[in-house]
Amino acid sequence: MTTRTNTIQHNANGQKKSLKDICNRAWTAKSDWPDKEEFLDVIYWSRQIFGILLGIIWGIIPLKGFLGIALFAAISCGVVYLYAINFQNIDEELYGGAWELVKEGFMTSFAGFLVTWIIFYTGLHYDSIMESKGV
C-alpha cells in the first residue's frame, strides 16, 4: 500500500512559495522579504553559483596559491555584503548582524570554488605544470 501526498511549501505568512517570485525579488532592488529564510536561501544559492563561476575564472586565468584563495574570500564576502546592504537595503541587525549575512553559505561555496578551480586549472594547464617539473 502506498500513500501519496501533495506537498506545498508555504512561507511564514502562509502564502505559497514560488521560485519565480523569489527570483524576481532577488533581482529587484529593495524588495520586501517577509520570510527571512527566503532571503538567506537567495544568498546561499547565489553564493554557490558565484563560487563555481569564480573557480572557473581562476582556473582559466591561471591564479595560484594564497592570492587566489584570498581574492575569492574578499570578493565573495564583499559581493554578498553589498548585495544585502546596498541593493536589497536589508537591515543587517534583523539577520543577526553583518557577520551572519556574510558567512551564510561561505564554506560550501568555498568547497565548490576549490573543486572547480582545481579541475579547470589542472585541465587547462596540465602541460605547463608537467613542463615546469621537468617531466
pLDDT digits (tens, 9 = 90+) for 50-63: 999 999 999 999 89
Alpha helices in 61-105 (DSSP H): 65-82, 98-103
81 assigned to some structural domain: yes
pLDDT tier at 127 (50, 70, 90 boundaries)? confident
53 assigned to some structural domain: no
Predicted confidence (pLDDT) at residue 1 exceeds the cutoff of 60: no
pLDDT tier at 78 (50, 70, 90 boundaries)? very high
**In the chain, how many domains are there?**
1
- What is residue 61's predicted lDDT score, i.e. its pLDDT? 94
40 assigned to some structural domain: no
105 close to 51: Cβ distance less than 8 angstroms: no
Predicted confidence (pLDDT) at residue 44 exceeds the cutoff of 90: yes
Average confidence (pLDDT) over 65-74: 97
CB contact set of 113 (below 8 Å; sequence gap of 6+): 51, 52, 54, 55, 58, 72, 76
Domain that holds residue 120: 64-135
62 close to 122: Cβ distance less than 8 angstroms: no
105 assigned to some structural domain: yes
Predicted confidence (pLDDT) at residue 7 exceeds the cutoff of 70: no
